[in-house]
Homo-oligomer: A and B are copies of this chain.
Amino acid sequence: MSALSLHRPEENTAPAVPPELLHIDCGAHTAAVEALAAKLAATAVERDKRGGTALAERALIRQSGLLTLSVPRQYGGAGEAWPLIYRIVRRLAASDSSLAHLYGFQHLQIATILLFANPEQQQRYLSGTIEHNWFWGNATNALDGNIALQAVSDAAGEHYTLDGFKTFCSGALDSDMLNVSAPRGGDPANRIILTIPSRRAGVHANEDWDAIGQRQTDSGSVRFEQVRVEADEILGPPGPGGSPRATLRPCVSQLVLTEIYNGNALGALAAARAYTLEQARPWGSSGVARAAEDPFIQQRYGELWSKYRAAVSLTESAARTLQEAWDLGDAITPQQRGAAAVAIAEARVFAARTALEVTAQIFETMGARATASRWGFDRWWRNVRTHSLHDPLDYKLRDIGHWLLSGEPPLPSIYS
């Protein structure tokens, strides 16, 4: 028997969260999103403790009908716009931050095909995504250095051979298709992105991700041993950086991160609210009969909720800006791309800082007994703390400040 459950032995799982607080309008997909989120939530605390690959939950995503929403209609997809995709990421993150990350990165990989691939490749990979319901992974971390992974071409240039490894390969495990970045022939200035089936001979996704948060994103390493890559598996033209439009990829990526933060903040607030209403005791000198009537607790909810709402409003605005930039197609100018990048940077920094604050401070509304491990209330903070370090927020702020002062948008890179 647990000391912390003595008074309520029946309460050994997280309290049910009032659904309305979590409700996010996802249009025609709302019911499917809610159903998936509910299934993920049911085991999220336990799986956070366990870590590792969430095979069953990845299967739930595959079965949800939501995996391919961003594939354009011409390839048989639903052609949903980015603001909707991001709302789904947020909603799923409020239940399960790791799986929401994998879901968001699925669409980042689809965006990668749309932005980097030539028409023939788009047809092949996007139709395939619809036909086979592919779950995509990535091995595109740019910080592993030149020696980590090499793409060496044969004399005729007809195929390449991959040798080496990559780290932070979110979603590679249990994936069907894999986007990979590598310097061509060891030249760091000549970075290519290529697409291969994840089960191709020589590709070894390792079960070695063990971080303090985002524990089921499988963001571990992939080892490549003499992996053959055909010439037409190298994405492009345009490939990465080949056009202003192609540089939208980090914009898509950064907003996935942003909505992970927002989703964790929302999930934390919803879980805390349920606890405050169902479990928390009024403090002795508060003079109130229920914790929910405590003026300091109400004040803190007001403060955290207002900040969360500001973060969501800013993110939604940035998502609309991204969609406008996306819809410009090849006509997009560097200045228009820069405006979107700045809007997204603003949202990312603000949402990250807000989510760190919200997920840390929810405890003040619940009290000491809420630190019992079985509630898993610290996972929200651990998720945000882990994910917000993806690339330094201070440099995002510098980019924004430099733009404000000079009018020069951030240089397109893998992070900005």
CB distance from A208 to the nearest CB of B (A): 4
Decide yes or no whether A404 CB sits under 8 A from chain B: yes
Interface positions of A from 114 to 172, Cβ below 8 Å from B? 143, 148, 165, 167-169
CA distance A392 to B364 in the complex (A): 7
Among candidates B281, B297, B390, residue contacting A143 with C-beta atoms closer than 8 Å: B281
Give every chain B residue within 8 A of A2 (Cβ-Cβ): 208, 210, 220
Give every chain B residue within 8 A of A299 (Cβ-Cβ): 296, 394, 397-398, 401
CA distance A373 to B382 in the complex (A): 11
Decide yes or no whether A412 CB sits under 8 A from chain B: no
Contact A401 B371 (CB under 8 A): no
Give every chain B residue within 8 A of A371 (Cβ-Cβ): 211-213, 385-386, 389
Give every chain B residue within 8 A of A284 (Cβ-Cβ): 143, 413, 415
Give every chain B residue within 8 A of A356 (Cβ-Cβ): 360
Among candidates B277, B298, B310, residue contacting A397 with C-beta atoms closer than 8 Å: B298
CA distance A316 to B313 in the complex (A): 9
Give every chain B residue within 8 A of A210 (Cβ-Cβ): 2, 4, 372-374
Contact B306 A400 (CB under 8 A): yes
For the complex formed by this chain, how many copies does it contain in all? Answer: 4
Give every chain B residue within 8 A of A360 (Cβ-Cβ): 356, 360, 381, 385
Contact A301 B404 (CB under 8 A): yes
CA distance A302 to B296 in the complex (A): 13
Interface positions of A from 1 to 49, Cβ below 8 Å from B? 1-4, 6, 21
CB distance from A276 to the nearest CB of B (A): 6
Contact A395 B3 (CB under 8 A): no
Give every chain B residue within 8 A of A406 (Cβ-Cβ): 292
Interface string of A292-325 (1 = CB under 8 A from B): 1001111111110111011101101100000000
Give every chain B residue within 8 A of A395 (Cβ-Cβ): 283, 285-286, 296
Give every chain B residue within 8 A of A281 (Cβ-Cβ): 143
Contact A364 B377 (CB under 8 A): no
Interface positions of A from 383 to 416, Cβ below 8 Å from B? 385-386, 389-402, 404-406, 413, 415
Decide yes or no whether A363 CB sits under 8 A from chain B: yes
CA distance A373 to B208 in the complex (A): 11
Among candidates B302, B366, B392, residue contacting A396 with C-beta atoms closer than 8 Å: B302
Give every chain B residue within 8 A of A185 (Cβ-Cβ): none
Nearest residue in B to A346 (C-beta to C-beta)?
B306
Decide yes or no whether A108 CB sits under 8 A from chain B: no
Decide yes or no whether A230 CB sits under 8 A from chain B: no
Contact B389 A378 (CB under 8 A): no
Decide yes or no whether A368 CB sits under 8 A from chain B: yes
CB distance from A148 to the nearest CB of B (A): 8
Give every chain B residue within 8 A of A396 (Cβ-Cβ): 302
Give every chain B residue within 8 A of A326 (Cβ-Cβ): none
Interface positions of A from 159 to 196, Cβ below 8 Å from B? 165, 167-169
Decide yes or no whether A273 CB sits under 8 A from chain B: yes
Nearest residue in B to A378 (C-beta to C-beta)?
B212
CB distance from A375 to the nearest CB of B (A): 8
CA distance A1 to B221 in the complex (A): 9
Contact B292 A405 (CB under 8 A): yes
Please, could you name 6 A-B residue pairs with CB atoms under 8 Å apart, sorted by A? A3-B208, A3-B220, A4-B208, A299-B394, A368-B389, A371-B389
